[in-house]
Structures are given as C-alpha cells and as structure tokens.
C-alpha cells in the first residue's frame, strides 16, 4: 500500500446511504451478509485464520486491535481480496479519552458543562481515529441510583435530563460535524436498556423495572442520543423483566425501531448473544442466534452464534432472509456514512500528535470543572501558598498516575499523567517544606505499618493534604462493592491524623460516590476529584491553592449509609413523607416508647430521610444569591410555553461559576409524579458583585410523561417550580397548564 493511497475519508454524496446499501445488498450471498453481522476480537496480529475469514467476507467488524499497520493491512485484505471489497469497521472502548485521558464520565458529568464534555469527546475521537479506530462504545447513558454498581463510573449520573443533555454532547463530540470526516468516531449509545437498575448494584444482575419507570426515567437519554444522530446502539447484558435485553424485542424492535424510527445499527454487548443460553432464555447457541436476530440485534460482538447458525435458521424458514437484509442494511449504512468505502485506510501523519498541548489543556479544564467542593469549614480553602511553611502530602493516591486515570483506560499513557504531588511541588514557592508519606500501600490496605511515617509528616506541618479514595480497579465493569466507605484502614489513618489538630484537607479520588459520613468528621475540607485523568494533578493543585474556584456539582446523590440505597432526589412522594420534624432517630427513642413515637413516616431510624449530599450540590469559594423567580405567565396552554427569569448575583469576593438548576413538580397526575424533576440548568461565570438575569425556556412538552396507557402526554393542572444551586432549591413559583 503506497502512502499516496491514504487520505482522509470523504463519503460520496451522489447517492443516498439507503440506495448504496441496497445496491450492495443485492450482490451479496447469504454467507456474506452473515459475515457483516459478525464482530470478532483482534488477535494482536493477523493469523492465518483471521486472514482467511476476512478474505471470505466473514468479518464485518474487529474490536480491540489498535496497531495502525495491522489495521491497514486487514482493510487491504478486505478491499482487495474479498469478493465484494467491503471494508471492516474497527471498534474500541474509547470511553473517556484515548491516550490523553479525561475524567471518568461520572466526573465529567459533575462539570454540568455540555460544551466541555463535547470538547473532551472530540479529543478522544481525534486520538482514537488517528490509529485506525472508527467506532467507540460510548457514551454509556444508563441511569443508575446505586453507587455500589461499579459501572456508575461510566455513567452520567442519576438524572434523565442531565444525562440526556450530556450524552447528546458526547455523541456530537465523538461524531463531529460529519461522520465521514477522518477524525470522527461513530458513537454507541449503551446499554439498551435498564442495565443501571441491576439488583443490589451487582453487574450483570436481574433488572426488575416497570414499563412506566422504564419510559419515564431510563429511556429518555437513549431517545436524546437517537435524536442527536448516534450511529449505533448496544444492548445490555442484563435480564430485563424476564427477557434479556439482547433478546428483548420490545426494546429493540418496538421502541427503538417502530416508535423512534432509528436507522443506525444495533450491536450486542460482549458475548451477550451466547449468554442467552446462560440466562436460561435460549436452549442452545442456535436458539440464542434466533432470539437475538428476531429481537433486532444487527451485529454480534465476540461470540459467533450468528456465523454458525443463521444460515441454517434461514434455510429452515425460521428467519426470513429479508430480516437479515434489514440487519445488514443497517450496518452498511453506517459504513457508508463513515466514508469507509472511499477511504478505509489511516495515515497517522494526517493527525495532530496525541497528547499535544491543546489536548492536555482540554483534559486539565475537564478535570478542573469536575472537582466538587463538599466541605470547607472555616473557609480553610483555598490555601495561601505564601503563608505556608510546612505542608504534609499523605496518601496512596498523591503520586500515582495510573490510578488517577480510572477505569476503562486501556490506552492511557501513564507517563503523561501529572500527579497532584508533582503539581503541588511545581506550584509552591521554595520556602515551603513538603513532607511526603504514603501512609498506606494501597487504598485497600488493612495494616497500619505506614501510619507512623504519615503521622510524623503531619506533625511537622501546619497543613495536611490527604489523597485517598479508591484505586482504579475498584470501579468499572464487574467491580461492584457492597460497602462503599473508604476501603481498608483509610478512616483509621484519618482519625489518627485528626488528633494532631492540624488543618486537614481530604482530596478524594474515586469511581463512585462514597459514604463519607464518618470520614467528614475527621477533616476540615473535602474536594471530590473522582478519577480525574491525565491532568488531574494540576487541576487539583489549582483548586487547593486558589488559582481556580471549584464549580463542580454532584450528578448523583451521596448517601450517608449504604443502607439508604437506592436514594435519589427525584423519588415519588410517599403517602407518609418524612419531614425534619416528623421522625425520631434510633438513639432518641424512649424506653418502651409507644409504636407511634418515631413519627410513622418514611425514613430510616438510624439515618433519617436525607442524603449526606443532595443531587446538584457543590460549594464554591464565593457565594451566590438567587433573587425571586419571575414567570412570563402563570398560565398557559398545552402546546405553549413560558419563560422563567431569576437574577443571580455573586455576593462573594472572587470570580466563580454557579450551576443554576430549574426543577418542577407536577402536583397531581394520572400516575404519581416525582417530588422534583430537573428540567433545565445553566452554568454561569460571574465576577464579584456581578448580577445576571438568567432565562429558562419551559415548554409544555418538557412536562410530558408516559401515563397509564404508556402514551406520552402533558396533563393540564398545577405545577411547582424551583430554581437554585442544588435539588433542594428554595426559590419557588407556581404555574398552571390549561387544556
């Protein structure tokens, strides 16, 4: 292959994608069609078996091969040595960066900044495409309310509206202005659907979810991704109400194809077709292939039940070949949209250098805006570097580039990672003594042999900064936890250091919300940095020492105790809702108290009814004042809308950003409605003393929900509305919708 043969992809516009796909389909044998429906894992090279399979048209896609020369050669074989010359689509889990790693998606969601999330995905796409990848298995837009689930790290949180907005931004970032551009990746909305509701927060577990909940909470982000033009969907591993998602005709055919008119293609998750037999849903691999194709799964990932069974199923008349044509047509349209037929090859020299200054700048900003300030007693933060003489840096995550990248970072370059310790050293003036102690071998350590060194470092210092949390391996797929306190003996080390009476600041790096009720009692301030990626260190240092003001807000509720799970802000109203005056804690119950002494409302006697930190929460180094809510009208009709106005003022002393959040409640409905629902947000930067009038558009369509008949309706009636800095927003107004 000569260099001159390699140039950016540019798809022909002379024919429609449908026309081109149909014309090619007409030339294909059944065996070649089945080949397009088969995705195989890369082998780290080109074996004789792989070469033969590509030559015979038995490979539609390859995943997890990232050597550019190997990929170009595989494409050459497909183009020049197979009968029809159909290119291969190359897939890879480019989840939150390729070699330049952004914060984990849950961390990115804490930025509440769609534009920044789009830029982060664009960097990932450019770097991934530069080696020959065409397709990423992201964004993961599963709604979850269980932080025990390891894959919450990949999610965008608990809220349908926030996830919809941010997920669509990721799609746009990955796919760029045109899929045919050489630096675009086809995105994949996953996991369709309900995976985040797995019982007990265990991966791959059963999902029991009512259709109404499915339609009103779980499916909206997927609909938003489809509307944003996402190229592909992926089915979930989980069993949804007795029918595994990979064999779930209701999800894939009825909702995705019939109701949403989706025209991209659907891929199974890894081995999830063959796992239909493990579920007990299919008796054999042949039956698994039948169920998946019947349900509308166009491409099988990793396992090969399609390759070995579909031809027989067609021959037996159980599957009509027209159904196979639909599947293959969906796949071919995406390949044509990607411009692979015009240019299947990749030339890395046509791309910017990976890890360049622009990419690192985006990674740094993403890490910065993801940091959430949870506690700041007596305004101990930000630290004044000029007033520091001795600082202790303690903890296993202070200087570990690998761990700060987080889960799903197969290609991240650890050598590029700038750690907090390095960044703090670079930032502090020469007169400051930095006393470093690891304290623990790992975040999971259960021994105390590093305590003495840590206490010695703390004793020498006026300020102690601790970097604790979870290693990367403790979250992600199949990395679920039943206990989500700080693992190991981290709390014990914090308690010992607290006895010294120093100013103590905790920086948490983790892949999920942790239960910090005990932890927060030992420290003066808490920064939640998630797993912040390549540039996490400089971002954290900037916040610690006041070069930047934290602006992150929680995209998920933080429980006090694991026993409160699931706990989320947009719950349904109980018939006996708890209030601050309506219950008694377990320690306050009198001996032989009457049964009604605790209040008989909905709460836990040992935890109350409130979370540790609510959805949308995040502190700042400045203060913001919300004026009164004003509405353009207090009554409007279905099909119309109103504008919501509120004045936001920075009444503090430093420049900062606030995420103003708009919530509503439908007071009465044909089904019960959540106590609050996020319907809009704006991230606003204000100088000290600056006031800005914010305007939110609220249309009756924004208030629609699926009713008892599973019809999407906006019901007339009264609504409450709040605007503020978290889901406990107090600035209130009322409006009414008429028929």
What DSSP letter does each residue of 695-718 carry, written as one string? EEEEEGGGG-EE-TTS-EE---EE
Inter-residue contact 179 to 186 (CB < 8 Å): yes
Own/partner pairs, 583-589, CB within 8 angstroms, 24+ separation: 583/608, 583/609
Q: Is residue 376 located within the same domain as residue 484?
A: yes
The b/e string for 576-604 (b: 16+ C-beta within 10 A; e otherwise) is eebeeeebeeeeeeeeeeeeeebeeeebb
What would the two tokens of residue 651 be?
Answer: 């009444």
Residue 498 CA, distance from chain mean position:
34
Together in a domain, 390 and 324:
no
The residue from 159, 183, 269, 666 that is catalytic is 269
114 and 254 fall within a common domain: yes
Q: Are 275 and 237 in contact (CB under 8 A)?
A: yes
Could you read off the pLDDT of 348-377 as tens digits, one per residue?
A: 999 999 999 999 999 999 999 999 999 999
User: pLDDT at position 589, please?
Assistant: 78
**pLDDT at site 9:** 53
**pLDDT score at 5:** 47
pLDDT for the residue numbered 431: 93
Q: Hey, what are 142's tokens?
A: 């599963």
SS3 string, 406-466, reads CCCCCCCCHHHCCCHHHHHHHHCCCCCEEEEECCCCCCCCCCCCCHHHHHHHHHCCCEEEE
Contact 269, 190 (CB under 8 A): yes
Does residue 497 lie in a domain region? yes
Is residue 433 a part of any domain in this protein?
yes
Burial class, 8, CB count within 10 angstroms (exposed 0-12 / middle 13-18 / buried 19+): middle
Specify the 3-state DSSP secondary structure of 723. strand
Which pTM was predicted?
0.97
Domain stop point among 523, 544, 565 = 544
Same domain (yes/no): 535, 646? no
Question: How large is the angle between the packed helices 160-175 and 220-227, nearest 10 degrees?
Answer: 30
Q: Return d(Cα 168, Cα 229) in angstroms, integer.
A: 9
Inside any domain, residue 602: no
Q: How far apart are CA 233 and CA 226, in angstroms?
A: 9
Specify whether the CB–CB gap between 624 and 658 falls below 8 A. yes
Q: Is residue 646 part of a domain?
A: yes
**309 with 279: CB under 8 angstroms?**
no
Note whether residue 617 is domain-resident.
Answer: no
Residues in the chain, how many? 739
Do 48 and 89 lie in one domain? The reply is yes
Residue 166 backbone phi and psi in degrees, to 5: -75, -35
pLDDT of 44 reads 87
Helix/strand/coil for 578? coil
* 519 within a domain of the structure (yes/no): yes
Query: 450-480 burial by CB neighbour count: b if 16+ within 10 A, else e?
Result: bbeebbebbeebebbbbbbbbbbbbbbbebb
Name the DSSP letter for residue 340: T
pLDDT of residue 123: 98
Question: Of the residues 286, 320, 350, which one is the last residue of a structural domain?
Answer: 350
pLDDT confidence of residue 181: 97
Same domain? For 343 and 377 the reply is no
**Pair (291, 413) in one structural domain:** no
Do residues 227 and 191 make contact, with C-beta atoms less than 8 angstroms apart? Answer: no
Same domain, 681 and 649: yes
Confirm whether 720 is a catalytic residue. Answer: no
CA distances from 505 to 185, 498, 525, 635 (A): 40, 10, 5, 49
SS3 content of the chain, % helix, strand, coil (to 5): 35, 20, 45
Measure Cα distances from 703 to 57, 546, 569, 728 in Å.
Answer: 49, 40, 17, 20
Residues in the chain where the model's pLDDT stays below 50:
1-8, 10-13
Assigned domain for 569 exists:
no
Helices vs strands, H then E, count in the chain:
20, 27
Closest by Cα among 431, 528, 426 to 470 = 528
Name the residue with tokens 């664009």: 122
Residue 593 lies in a domain: no
Last residue of a domain, one of 480, 514, 544: 544
Asked if 255 and 381 sit in the same domain, the reply is no
Give the domain range for residue 426: 371-544
Q: Could you tell me if 25 and 80 lie in one domain?
A: yes
- Of 598, 565, 559, the C-alpha closest to 582 is 598
DSSP state letters, 128-165: HHTTT--EE---B------TTSGGGGGS--S-HHHHHH
Same domain assignment for residues 94 and 234:
yes
Examine the domain organization and report whether 377 and 339 are in the same domain. Answer: no
What CATH number is given to the structural domain containing 655? 2.60.40.10
Q: How far apart are the first and last CA of the chain?
A: 66
Residue 729: alpha-carbon gap to chain centroid? 24
Q: Of 470, 431, 436, 411, which Cα lies nearest the Cα of 148?
A: 470
What was the pLDDT predicted at 597? 73
Tokens describing residue 262 = 């989706």
Count how many domains the chain has: 3
Report the CATH number that the domain containing residue 492 is assigned in CATH.
3.40.50.1700
User: For 490-525, what is the HEC assignment?
Assistant: HHHHHHHHHCCCCEEEEEEECCCCCCCCCHHHHCCE
Distance CA 707, CA 601 (A): 27
| Residue 147 neighbours by CB under 8 Å, 6+ apart | 201, 484, 512, 513, 514, 556, 558, 559, 565
Measured distance CA(319)–CA(452) in Å, rounded: 69
CATH number at residue 320: 3.20.20.300
pLDDT score at 584: 80
Give the bridge partners for 504, in sequence order.
Answer: 464
The model's pLDDT over 232-257, given as tens digits with 9 standing for 90+, comes to 999 999 999 999 999 999 999 999 99
């Amino acid at each position: 292959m000569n260099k001159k043969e390699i140039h950016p992809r540019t798809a022909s516009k002379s024919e429609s994608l449908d026309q081109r796909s149909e014309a090619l389909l007409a030339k294909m044998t059944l065996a070649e069609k089945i080949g397009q429906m088969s995705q195989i894992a890369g082998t780290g090279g080109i074996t004789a078996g792989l070469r033969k399979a590509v030559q015979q048209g038995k490979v539609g896609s390859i995943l997890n091969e990232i050597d550019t020369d190997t990929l170009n050669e595989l494409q050459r074989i497909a183009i020049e040595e197979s009968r029809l010359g159909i290119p291969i689509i190359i897939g890879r889990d480019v989840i939150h960066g390729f070699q330049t790693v952004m914060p984990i998606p849950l961390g990115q969601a804490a930025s509440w900044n769609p534009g920044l999330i789009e830029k982060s995905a664009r960097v990932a796409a450019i770097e991934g495409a530069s080696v020959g990848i065409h397709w990423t298995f992201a964004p993961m837009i599963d709604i979850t309310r269980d932080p025990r689930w390891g894959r919450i790290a990949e999610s965008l949180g608990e809220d349908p509206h926030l996830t919809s907005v941010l997920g669509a931004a990721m799609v746009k970032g990955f796919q760029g202005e045109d899929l045919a551009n050489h630096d675009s990746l086809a995105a994949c909305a996953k996991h369709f659907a309900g995976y985040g509701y797995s019982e007990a927060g265990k991966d791959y577990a059963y999902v029991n979810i009512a259709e109404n909940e499915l339609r009103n909470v779980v499916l909206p982000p997927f609909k938003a991704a489809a509307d944003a033009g996402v190229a592909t969907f992926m089915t979930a591993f989980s069993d949804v109400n007795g029918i595994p998602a990979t064999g779930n005709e209701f999800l894939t055919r009825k909702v995705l194809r019939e109701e949403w008119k989706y025209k991209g293609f659907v891929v199974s998750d890894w081995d999830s077709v063959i796992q239909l037999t493990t579920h007990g849903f299919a008796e054999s691999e042949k039956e698994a292939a039948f169920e998946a194709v019947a349900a509308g799964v166009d491409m099988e990932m990793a396992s090969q039940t399609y390759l070995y069974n579909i031809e027989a199923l067609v021959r037996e008349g159980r599957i009509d070949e027209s159904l196979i044509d639909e599947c293959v047509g969906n796949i071919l349209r995406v390949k044509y949209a990607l411009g692979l037929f015009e240019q299947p090859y990749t030339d890395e020299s046509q791309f910017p250098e990976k890890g360049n200054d622009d990419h690192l700048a985006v990674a740094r900003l993403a890490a910065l805006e993801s940091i959430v300030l949870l506690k700041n007693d007596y305004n101990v933060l930000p630290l004044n570097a000029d007033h520091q003489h001795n600082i202790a840096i303690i903890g296993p995550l202070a200087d570990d580039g690998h761990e700060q990248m987080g889960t799903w970072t197969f290609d991240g370059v650890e050598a590029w990672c700038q750690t907090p310790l390095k960044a703090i050293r670079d930032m502090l003036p020469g007169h400051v003594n930095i006393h470093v102690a690891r304290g623990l071998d790992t975040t999971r350590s259960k021994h105390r042999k590093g305590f003495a060194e840590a206490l010695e470092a703390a004793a020498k210092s006026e300020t102690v900064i601790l970097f604790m949390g979870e290693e990367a391996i403790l979250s992600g797929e199949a990395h679920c936890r039943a206990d989500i306190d700080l693992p190991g003996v981290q709390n014990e080390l914090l308690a010992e250091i607290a006895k010294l009476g120093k100013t103590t600041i905790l920086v948490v790096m983790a892949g999920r919300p942790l239960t910090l009720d005990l932890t927060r009692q030992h420290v003066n301030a808490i920064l939640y940095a998630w797993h912040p990626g390549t540039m996490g260190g400089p971002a954290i240092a900037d916040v610690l020492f006041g070069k930047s003001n934290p602006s992150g807000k929680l995209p998920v509720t933080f429980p006090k105790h694991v026993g409160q799970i699931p706990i989320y802000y947009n719950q349904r109203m109980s018939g006996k809702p708890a209030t601050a005056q309506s219950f008694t804690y377990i320690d306050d119950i009198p001996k032989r108290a009457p049964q009604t002494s605790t209040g008989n409302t909905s709460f836990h006697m040992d935890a109350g009814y409130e979370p540790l930190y609510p959805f949308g929460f995040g502190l700042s180094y400045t203060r913001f004042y919300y004026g009164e809510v004003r509405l353009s009208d207090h009554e409007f009709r279905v099909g119309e809308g109103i504008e919501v106005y509120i004045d936001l003022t920075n009444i503090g002393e430093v420049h900062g950003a606030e995420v103003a959040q708009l919530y509503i409640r439908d007071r009465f409905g044909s089904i019960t409605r959540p106590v609050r629902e996020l319907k809009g947000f704006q991230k606003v930067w204000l100088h000290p003393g600056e006031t800005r009038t914010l305007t939110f558009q609220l249309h009756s369509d924004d208030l629609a929900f699926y009713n008892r008949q599973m019809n999407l309706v906006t019901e007339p009636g009264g609504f409450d509305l709040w605007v503020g800095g978290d889901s406990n927003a107090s600035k209130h107004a009322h409006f009414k919708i008429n028929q």
